[in-house]
Amino acid sequence: MAKDIQAFYVTGRTLYALIWNASGNVWDTVAEAFVEYAAASRADYAVTVTEQGSSGASGFYAGTVPAGITTVGFYNAAVYDQIGVSPDESDALVWTDEIVWDGSAQTPPTTGTVSVNFNSPLMTVDPQLRLVDSNGNQVTTLSVAQAIATIFVNMLGDRSGVDSRIITAAVPGIADCIVVAERTSVSQIAMTITVPAVS
């Protein structure tokens, strides 16, 4: 088993996961497609998450992303504790896991310096962007977005012409990671995300 979905919880429970895409649709294991959520079909969405270890009492649960999910991107696995005979909306959410998917497996972290260009104001982040800092902490797109927001507040004040100022901002919660920005035209800012390589 690939163990793409991982959760830690009380031992001896029956867990399952619902996998959501960026559009807010849930994976249907019967239809083998992402669909709009419907409470009556919850059992069709459940992906098995099994407790690991020879004794089955490790408290570590894992599951595999269905082979039908082949689109590269970020997915969220919501893990539930099944109380009754089948999955139900009353089941408690016990864990969430972000999955960075390359189409067939988890995307490994990237270290070093990565250059990403953002066009203002419609900027996007490569869905495969996944970095770690020198302490092994993952840089999430949310953290990077916070740093970028800080830069935009400082940089977009002057819209009259090209401002060649270079501004840097630390990524919140991620050691030694910075975003460096330079305005290259009135409508474009080039940014570089720097993450020291893990030794």
Enumerate the domain spans of the chain: 5-101, 112-195
- Model pTM? 0.57
64-109 per-position pLDDT tens digit = 999 999 988 888 999 999 999 999 999 999 999 888 888 888 875 5
Kindly list the distances between the CA atom of residue 182 and the CA atoms of 32, 122, 194, in Å, as whole numbers in the listed order: 44, 17, 14
What is the reported pLDDT for 179? 64
What is the reported pLDDT for 141? 52
End-to-end CA distance of the chain: 29
* Tokens encoding 144: 């990077």
What is the reported pLDDT for 146? 57
- Confidence grade of residue 63 (pLDDT, cut at 50, 70, 90): very high
What is the reported pLDDT for 2? 80
pLDDT at 154 over 90: no
Domain boundaries 5-101, CATH class:
mainly beta
- CB-based contacts of 85, cutoff 8 Å, min separation 6: none
Of 1-5, 16-20, 122-126, the least confident:
122-126
